[in-house]
Every structure is written in C-alpha cells, then in structure tokens.
Amino acid sequence: MLTHGGLGAVDPWAPERRPLREVLWLWGLRGLSETLEVIALAMIMFVAVRAVAHNYRVDGNSMVPSFHDGEALIVNRLAYRTLNLGWVPVVGRDEWQPFGAPKQGDVVIFIAQRTPRERDFVKRIIGLPGQTVEVTKGRVVVNGVAFDEPYISAPPNYEFKAQTVPPGKLFVLGDNRNNSQDSHLIGMVDMGEVVGRVDLRYWPLRAAEIIQGEFGTPVAQTGAPPGTTPAPRSMRLEPEVSPWR
C-alpha cells in the first residue's frame, strides 16, 4: 500500500518548526525596532506641533463677550515671527515676516509678567507702532479717528490721553473694557513678549470657530493731538489665560 510517509519533511506548506527562544528573539528585535520608530515619529510630531501652535484656557472675563472663562484656544506661535534675510543678496531686505505682521483687531497672547511667576494675558491689538492712541468719551481714538466697536461689552468709562505707540510695541485692550488689565493700565506690550495670535477656539464645541481679527469702524474725526500718558497705575496682575500642558 502506498503512503505519504516522509513527505512532510519536504512539504513546502508545512509549518516551519523553530525553537521558541529563536522565535521570541526575532519577534523581540522587530517589535523593539518598530516601537522605537513610533516613539521617534511621535516626538518629532510633538515638537513640530508645539513649535507652531499652543493651546490655552481662558481664565477670567477681561475679553467678554468675545471670549469667556474656561474656553479653550489654539495660539499660532509662528505669527509675527521675523526672519533675518540680510545675508541673502537677491532678497533686498533684512527682515521678512512670512506669517504676517500684527494687525489692528488681532487677538494675541502675551507675557504680562515673568516674576514671581509667568502670567499670560489675552487682549486685542488696538494700536500699532507709530499710531497715536487715545481713549476718550467712551471711544477708542486712533490717529484722531474715533471707532465704533461692536465687539466690546460696554464703552470704556476711563480716559487715556493720546500717546504714540513706540517702535516694537503694541497697544492692546480687553473687550471687557471696564474690567481688563491692559495697556491703559500696564503700558504698551513689547513685541518680544507676544506668544502668538489666537487663531482658533475649539472648546466648547458649540462655540468652536476660526478667529478672524475684528476691528471697529470709524465714526468721527476728533483732531486729538498726540501727547503722553501718565505712568500706569500700580496693580496686581492676574492670569487671564493658562497654558494646557
């Protein structure tokens, strides 16, 4: 009687039998390599994302009604970054801002103080370098033009004498004008202290949206001459945004 005895040893479909130690060793090397690749890729992505964007939580009511306490924001850290291209002969300029320059109406995060601990504020840009800013009779006045601002909670009940924004500085105000520690109290903001521009609100979901810079519309000519402001009042700074780490 014919049988298939002995054919199993040369059957190409028969499973290969190897020692358990050898199987585990090969699997371990392959698994370790794949795990290291995933970890390296995750670290690269994390660093890249953190270099471009950062998330913050609003802490306080200084930007009501535009932003409310507890809302979560994404900040573009590359906004306003300046590259020095003076070494490139064909460019013809030393400084380049590939991601845009500050504009009136942009909402920004900046470092309000560093000691005894760092505190970040969220405000709206009102005045740019070279512009003369004044707050009078319940309105913001820029270069002698008063503006109607539909995004504020109420007209400001204080006076801020006309002052020209120096180079490298910004004049910022909170949308909740009468409950905000901003440039009318703490002075101009140095561009070097700006963390980035608020580009997205992602929480709560019902309020999620891309943030577009919003500024008022001119309503009158005031003819207010440039001047200087008194030294800002001393007051305790409170955090208005908190980074989610």
Respond yes or no: is residue 161 known to be catalytic. Answer: no
Question: Contact at 8 Å (CB) between 85 and 195?
Answer: no
Distance CA 39, CA 245 (A): 19
Q: Considering just the CA atoms, what is the radius of gyration of the chain in Å?
A: 29
Question: Contact at 8 Å (CB) between 188 and 165?
Answer: yes
Catalytic residue among 123, 169, 180, 183: 123
Give me 238's structure tokens. Answer: 């409170």
Closest to 134 in 3D by CA, of 220, 64, 237:
220
Catalytic residue among 62, 66, 180, 183: 62
Distance of CA 211 to the CA centre of its chain: 11
User: For 21-30, b where at least 16 C-beta lie within 10 A, e where not — what string?
Assistant: eeeeeeeeee
Distance CA 51, CA 41 (A): 15
Question: Contact at 8 Å (CB) between 167 and 131?
Answer: no
Respond yes or no: is residue 62 known to be catalytic. Answer: yes
Active site residues: 62, 123
